[in-house]
Amino acid sequence: MGRYLGPRTKIDRKFHDQIFGYSKAFQKKPTIIKKLKKKSRKSEYGELLSSKKKLLYIYNMRERQLSIYVEKATKKREDTEVVLITFLENRLDNVVYRLGLGRTRRACRQLVSHKHICVNGKVVNIASYQVKVGDLITYKEKDKKNKNIAIGGCDGVNVYNWIKWNSEKDAGEIIGVPEKKDVPEKINWRNIIEFYSR
Note the pLDDT tens digit of each residue in 126-164.
999 999 999 999 988 887 777 666 555 544 445 788 998
Residue 37, pLDDT score: 54
In the predicted model, what is the mean pLDDT of residues 49-69? 91
Give residue 85's pLDDT. Answer: 95
Distance from C-alpha of 33 to C-alpha of 70, rounded to nearest angstrom:
41
Task: Of 182, 188, 189, give the one whose Cα is nearest residue 70.
Answer: 189
Percent of the chain with pLDDT over 90: 44
Residues 105 and 97 sit within 8 Å (Cβ to Cβ): yes
Confidence grade of residue 32 (pLDDT, cut at 50, 70, 90):
very low
**Conformational region of residue 153, where left means phi above 0, alpha means psi within -120 to 50, and beta covers everything else:** left
Rg (CA), the chain: 18
**pLDDT at res. 100:** 86
Lowest-confidence range among 75-79, 148-152, 172-176? 148-152
Dist. CA 7–CA 185, nearest whole Å: 20
Q: Is 174 helix (H, G, I), strand (E, B) or coil?
A: strand
Q: What average pLDDT does the chain have?
A: 82
- Residue 185 per-residue DSSP state: S
Question: What domains can you pick out in the chain, each with its CATH number?
Answer: 1-20+42-90+185-198 (1.10.1050.10), 92-177 (3.10.290.10)
Q: What are the start-end ranges of the H helices in the chain? A: 8-15, 44-59, 63-75, 80-89, 92-98, 105-113, 189-196
Helices and strands of the chain, counted as H and E runs: 7, 5
pLDDT tens for each residue of 148-158: 665 555 444 45
176 pLDDT exceeds 90?
Answer: yes
pLDDT of residue 179 exceeding 80: yes
Above 50 in pLDDT, residue 34? no
pLDDT for 158 equals 56
Q: What is the mean pLDDT of residues 165-194?
A: 89
pLDDT for the residue 140: 87
Structure confidence at residue 23 (pLDDT): 61
Predicted local confidence at residue 141, as pLDDT: 83
Q: Which of 18-27, 74-83, 122-131 has the lowest mean pLDDT?
A: 18-27
Calculate the dihedral angle through the C-alpha atoms of 1, 181, 20, 174, rounding to the nearest 10 degrees. Answer: -90
What pLDDT score does 103 carry? 81
Q: Are 103 and 84 in contact (CB under 8 A)?
A: no
Report the share of the chain in percent with pLDDT over 70. 78
